[in-house]
Structure 1
Amino acid sequence: MEIQAEDGGALKDRTKVLISVEDVNDNRPEVTITSLFSPVREDAPQGTIVVLFNAHDRDSGKNGQVVCSIEEILPFQLEKSVEDYYRLLTVQNLDREKTSEYNITVTATDRGTPPQSTETHITLHVVDVNDNPPSFSQTSYSVYLPENNLRGTSIFSVTAHDPDSNENARIIYSLEEDTIQGAPLSSYVSINSDTGVLFALRSFDHEQFRDLQMHVKASDSGDPPLSSNVSLSIFVLDQNDNVPEILYPALPTDGSTGVELAPRSAEPGYLVTKVVAVDRDSGQNAWLSYRLLKASEPGLFSVGLHTGEVRTARALLDRDAIKQSLVVAVQDHGQPPLSATVTFTVAVADSIPDVLSDLGKLDSPANPEDSGLTLYLVVAVAAVSCVFLAFVIVLLALRLRHWHMSRLLQASGSGLTGMPASQFVGVDGVRAFLQTYSHEVSLTADSRGSHVIFPQPNYADTLISQESCEKSEPLCVSDDSRFPIEDTPFVPVSSSFSLL
């Protein structure tokens, strides 16, 4: 500015005065974000620019010089590009599974005295990348399943974890293809693709296979999908579902019992035979014990509890029967216990020929001639019955013919004089004949005493003789015979058989 000074005598003078205003650090730095690249992929390479901003201070000199900084623990770095512009770069690999969001505080400080500063907060989101496969909590699993389970039973549940997010964390479970005893694994078990629950598709049999080995696969839905697998062992536990099977003595195919030999001179403790049995179960369910369930001579034989050996308990006496029937029971130790029995005969003799001869004395042999005679008697009775039936049929046929001719005569109205005498038998005669005709067959317990009796029929009062016809009316037809056959009483026919 110019300053003019003037006195009273009209003298004056001018001068220039320069006033300089010294800056005082009274302004804080200002930060302006020009670009923010958020969100950023977690697989972004090092040196990726995530933020661009400008930092300035309206003061001058040192008061206007701005310095920016961030926390050192962050995986980022600030760089000054041109003038008052800065950029924020990544200096480490980002991991969304550890930190999905960063809150970055940028501090701008001037160099004044005292210094002024400004803080700017920047939020940076990290986008998930499918960089983690599903993982199981264990490297392998073991499942214990009792046999004879129901179809559709839930066996086990496996769970995998994927630290990724959204579709990258959605897990799909499946079973790796395999075969068990020639059949695909998918025919034995299945798995729910969403929950990881395993189901049995059939009833397992411990005797068929003791365990099933498989691999469960867990895949995420990322692009590309990542997967991992874990081994799963299913052990089929035994249940007492099998009855002991007796191998010896084997029963004959004809349904009879087996025969073992014990000499008369056998001392107490003599080994007669040994019952051998097996059980398809395992463990305690397959432990077998033997006991004598029934014997025709109690106290004569004993059975080893665990060996199944049948031994004589005392010396054999002459009064002991030749045939000794034994019933041995074999029982397992399952819950509940199952058992089987075997019945066999012990023949008390020194040799097989002795056994045959002794048995021949006990059993009377059947006589072939007796059986043949009985057969002939049966055939004879059948033949006589057929002949008798044929005779009755002939009588009925003749009666029908006689009745038919009577009806024709009545219809024509012609006289009956001069017709030849009839040789037919009347109804009363037939009735009397049938009542007097019978045969009897008697079959006794001794077939040689069987007999057949044919009584002599009496025709004296039944058949109409030729002479009586000639002496009487020309036509030997009674008045009753003129009625229709339906008005004539039927003749009862009987055949008696007595089987004694």
Structure 2
Amino acid sequence: MKGIQRLWNCRKGIIQCLFMMFSWKAVSGQIHYSIPEEMHKGSSVGNIAKDLGMDGKQLPDHGLRIVSPVGMIQYFSLNANNGHLQISERIDREEICREAEKCMLKFQVLVESKLKLYGIEVEITDINDNAPHFPLWEQELEINEASMPGFQIPLPKAQDPDWGINSVQSYQLTGSSNFALHVQTKENGARLVELVLEKSLDREEQSAYNLLLTATDGGDPIRSGTLQIHIVVIDANDNAPVFSHPLYEVSINENIPKWSTLLTVRATDMDEGINGDIKYSFQEITKRDSQMFLLNSTTGEIILIGNLDYEESSLYAFEIQAKDGGGLSDRSKVVISVTDLNDNAPQLSVTFATNTILESSPSQTVIAILNVQDRDSGINGEITCSIPSNLPFQLKKSMDNFYSLVTDGALDREQVSVFNITVTVTDHGVPPLSTVTVITLHVLDTNDNPPLFEKTDYTFYFVENNQRGAMVSSLKANDLDWEENARITYSITDDQRSDSRLSSYLSINSETGVIYALTSFDYEDFRDIRFRVKAQDGGAPPLSSNVSVTLFILDQNDNAPQILYPSPPTDGSTGIELAPRSSEPGYLVTKVVAVDADSGQNAWLSYQLIKATEPGLFTLGLHTGEIRTARFFLEKDALKQSLVVLVKDNGQPPLSASATLTVVLADTIPAVLSDLSSISAPVDPPSDLTFYLVLAVAFVSCLFFTFLLVLLAIKLHSWRNSQLLESGSVNFSGAPISQFVGIDGVRAFLHSYCQEVSLTTDSRKANYSNTLSSKEACEAKDPILPGEDLNLNNEGLIVVQVSKQY
């Protein structure tokens, strides 16, 4: 019969082992495995890669790894080559789960390529690796000889850490027929083992008995433990102690201080003397509990001598025996419940995190995966995970106690380049406890900002006559991007001057934006240069912007005034103007005309009369250059009046030019001749007057005939010159005519004239012409070849036609 039972137990164990080792299933979206305890290190639990549907050849690319809760022993490891889950530490079910009916080890597997977590449950099944054992190897009992058959004495129970069929299943007593063994199960599930007196005792016949109590389990193979029982027969004690309560229950906080009295048990005995003297002792208490509590054997006080921790154990249960001096006893059970307090702050671990991200990354990009736990229970173990609301990030709960930190909106490195994300985990206890961790995230730059100039357009001013290579100006563009995306190069792209070569005028430093002049500028050639400057960054693709630049050339006073009228003489003579003696004050004698190639105040001209034969006889317009008579002419006034006119500009320093004019006081040309003769003839005494008058008439007559001959020669010469000019494409049509007469190197007008001056500042050209204002006002009164061109040398009369255009 025993062989059949043993065979059945063996077959049952084999089937159970095979079922636990090779069966797995997914429960509530998790992968479930079942293995027996005490398997060797390196033993395979299951093929996780296959169960997750992964290709074994590409397994290293998936980044498969185990994520265990904080503080948990790593009982398993993952083979990266074949995806098998293997045992890495010894697994003792009794050490891990103690008295729990089901022993489960939970952890997670992270697939980094998908950033996805999978829950794994491994159920640890029990094997018969522990034999039953008693707290003491020997037990001494005292039984009164007056005890009647059926008298029961509680015996210590055997303890077996195994579970189910592998725990204690039966007891057997040997050694004497006077005693029997009675085993019963109470309502609370506790098993009571009692020694029952079968026959009356007689101390005189036998005072002691030695019994052997054997406890066996139901495992395969069967294991057992023994207890030596020594029974001493004593005199009669007919009353046993009785506890006031068969069960003592108390609930205490886990933070109760050491050496506190938890409760007091009490038993009574109706006997007197030594038979009524009760002593209390622990029964059926584990080693762990005996190190936590102390029992006062006299008073029955239970004192705390260790530190309670709800997370380690929330319930303590043991038995207390009350025994009198006569050997009679009673037992009561004590249950101590530990109340949880919020004494554990939440734990936060970063399972995965990246510290850089492109600012162009899309929303919901995963930055980190967080695991949060709290060892407390109930509301003290409920947690809330949060980040500041003003950050563009979001916490999303993925599974159980895992959170994903993702982006929640667009990132802009130019606004914020580094984020210090504070993750706070807070429980719901009172007061709440929290844990904080900081995740630093650097935002990487993308080329999303073009260079921008500080102004929309630039205007610079630069003085002419500069040195070659001189710095003209500088421009500055700013780029909000970083490093290579913000490296700016400058270039001149185009200009708005179709008649100039910009590259020969200006150059720009591609790194600093400084513009240099390649040549010396001349305000009189051009006054402004318009071009565009391009700023381009070093991104890929590059971004750029343009700005318009206008460079105005500033004038310097580098041109002296140029006198157009009277024109500078080529033969050393001075210009002669005719002023009738009958002129009234304010009469316009002539006008000095001058221009300046400069502009602005450098071209503002002023006229000054610096020298005159007769001071106060003539006035000169300060800004017009007009020479007018200041008073009536007097007989004593000299016939020839020499005037020196200074023309000065308004530059700094000022530049000037001068002209010398000769004004002859006469009404007609004959008068001029006579006056000039009178000037040259000395005044003789009245006695010689007739002689000189005759001589003068003869001289004038000869001079007149000479004038006619010269005039004829000039006419022929002018006609010949006109033919040459026509053949040389020189056009004098419309040119004003000025007629002069020259005597002794002095030129004088033969007749009155009209002046017309036209000055154009923008074109920097001056047109001067002498024209007849009307036939009446400007008609020649001289009967000598009116309208003809006359030319005389120093000893004759010279009439010159002047037509000059600037």
1:276 to 577, 593, 597: 593
Q: Is 1:68–1:108's contact at 8 Å kept on the other side of the alignment?
A: yes
Is 1:160 matched up with 2:477? yes
Aligned residues: 367
Counterpart for residue 563 of structure 2 = 246
1:129 to 446, 451, 462: 446
Q: Is 1:55–1:108's contact at 8 Å kept on the other side of the alignment?
A: yes
Is 1:95 matched up with 2:407? no
Is 1:44 matched up with 2:361? yes
Q: Is 2:565–2:591's contact at 8 Å kept on the other side of the alignment?
A: yes
Alignment of 1:56-455 (within 5 A): 56-60=373-377, 62-111=379-428, 115-180=432-497, 182-251=499-568, 256-318=573-635, 320-352=637-669, 354-355=671-672
Q: Which range is displaced more, 251-260 or 161-170?
A: 251-260
Amino acid of the residue matched to residue 153 of structure 1?
Answer: A
In structure 1, distance between residues paired with 2:497 and 2:412: 43
Kindly tell me: are residues 115 and 312 of structure 1, through their superposed partners in 2, closer, same or farther at Cα, counting changes over 3 Å?
Answer: closer
Kindly tell me: are residues 20 and 344 of structure 1, through their superposed partners in 2, closer, same or farther at Cα, counting changes over 3 Å?
Answer: closer
Kindly tell me: are residues 65 and 358 of structure 1, through their superposed partners in 2, closer, same or farther at Cα, counting changes over 3 Å?
Answer: same
User: After superposition, what is the alpha-carbon deviation per residue over 1:399-451, rounded to whole angstroms, capped at 9, x for unaligned?
Assistant: xxxxxxxxxxxxxxxxxxxxxxxxxxxxxxxxxxxxxxxxxxxxxxxxxxxxx
Amino acid of the residue matched to residue 118 of structure 1?
Answer: T
In structure 2, distance between residues paired with 1:53 and 1:43: 24
Q: Is 1:31–1:53's contact at 8 Å kept on the other side of the alignment?
A: yes
Shift of 1:160: 2.0
Identity of aligned residues (%): 58
In structure 1, distance between residues paired with 2:652 and 2:345: 89
Q: Is 2:496–2:531's contact at 8 Å kept on the other side of the alignment?
A: no
Shift of 1:285: 2.4
Counterpart for residue 695 of structure 2 = none
In structure 2, distance between residues paired with 1:352 and 1:50: 111
Backbone CA RMSD of aligned residues: 3.5
In structure 1, distance between residues paired with 2:382 and 2:620: 112
In structure 2, distance between residues paired with 1:20 and 1:150: 95
SS in 2 for 1:31: strand
Counterpart for residue 30 of structure 1 = 347
Shift of 1:11: 7.2
User: After superposition, what is the alpha-carbon deviation per residue over 1:139-196, rounded to whole angstroms, capped at 9, x for unaligned?
Assistant: 3333333332222222222222222111111121222311536112232222222122
Shift of 1:233: 3.1
Q: Is 1:263–1:349's contact at 8 Å kept on the other side of the alignment?
A: yes
SS in 2 for 1:183: coil
Shift of 1:104: 1.3
Higher fraction of strand: 2
Amino acid of the residue matched to residue 272 of structure 1?
Answer: V
Q: Is 2:350–2:369's contact at 8 Å kept on the other side of the alignment?
A: yes
Shift of 1:46: 1.4
Shift of 1:299: 4.4
Kindly tell me: are residues 360 and 252 of structure 1, through their superposed partners in 2, closer, same or farther at Cα, counting changes over 3 Å?
Answer: farther
SS in 1 for 2:494: coil
Q: Is 2:612–2:641's contact at 8 Å kept on the other side of the alignment?
A: yes
In structure 2, distance between residues paired with 1:91 and 1:161: 29
Kindly tell me: are residues 325 and 28 of structure 1, through their superposed partners in 2, closer, same or farther at Cα, counting changes over 3 Å?
Answer: same
SS in 1 for 2:485: helix
Shift of 1:304: 2.3
Shift of 1:114: 5.6
SS in 1 for 2:351: strand
User: After superposition, what is the alpha-carbon deviation per residue over 1:450-496, rounded to whole angstroms, capped at 9, x for unaligned?
Assistant: xxxxxxxxxxxxxxxxxxxxxxxxxxxxxxxxxxxxxxxxxxxxxxx
Kindly tell me: are residues 323 and 128 of structure 1, through their superposed partners in 2, closer, same or farther at Cα, counting changes over 3 Å?
Answer: same
Shift of 1:53: 2.5
In structure 2, distance between residues paired with 1:335 and 1:7: 132
Counterpart for residue 388 of structure 1 = none
Shift of 1:126: 0.6
Q: Is 1:47–1:89's contact at 8 Å kept on the other side of the alignment?
A: yes
Q: Is 2:561–2:596's contact at 8 Å kept on the other side of the alignment?
A: yes
Shift of 1:78: 0.9
Q: Is 2:590–2:626's contact at 8 Å kept on the other side of the alignment?
A: yes
User: After superposition, what is the alpha-carbon deviation per residue over 1:355-409, rounded to whole angstroms, capped at 9, x for unaligned?
Assistant: 467668969999x9xxxxxxxxxxxxxxxxxxxxxxxxxxxxxxxxxxxxxxxxx
Shift of 1:336: 1.6
Gaps of 5+ in 1: 369-500
Counterpart for residue 80 of structure 2 = none
SS in 2 for 1:176: strand
Amino acid of the residue matched to residue 86 of structure 1?
Answer: Y
Shift of 1:49: 1.4
Amino acid of the residue matched to residue 39 of structure 1?
Answer: T
Amino acid of the residue matched to residue 6 of structure 1?
Answer: I
**Which structure has the higher relative contact order (CA within 8 Å, separation 6+)?**
1
Kindly tell me: are residues 317 and 76 of structure 1, through their superposed partners in 2, closer, same or farther at Cα, counting changes over 3 Å?
Answer: same
Kindly tell me: are residues 117 and 320 of structure 1, through their superposed partners in 2, closer, same or farther at Cα, counting changes over 3 Å?
Answer: closer
Amino acid of the residue matched to residue 175 of structure 1?
Answer: I
Amino acid of the residue matched to residue 365 of structure 2?
Answer: T
Shift of 1:245: 1.9
Shift of 1:26: 4.8
User: After superposition, what is the alpha-carbon deviation per residue over 1:233-254, rounded to whole angstroms, capped at 9, x for unaligned?
Assistant: 3333332222112222234555
Q: Is 2:588–2:629's contact at 8 Å kept on the other side of the alignment?
A: yes
In structure 1, distance between residues paired with 2:498 and 2:525: 10
What's the TM-score once normalised by structure 2's chain length?
Answer: 0.41
In structure 2, distance between residues paired with 1:141 and 1:317: 66
In structure 2, distance between residues paired with 1:210 and 1:342: 31
Higher fraction of helix: 1
In structure 2, distance between residues paired with 1:319 and 1:283: 45
Kindly tell me: are residues 14 and 112 of structure 1, through their superposed partners in 2, closer, same or farther at Cα, counting changes over 3 Å?
Answer: farther
Counterpart for residue 496 of structure 1 = none
Amino acid of the residue matched to residue 130 of structure 1?
Answer: N
Alignment of 1:458-497 (within 5 A): none
SS in 1 for 2:409: coil
Gaps of 5+ in 2: 1-98, 100-131, 136-151, 156-178, 192-312, 316-337, 682-698, 707-806
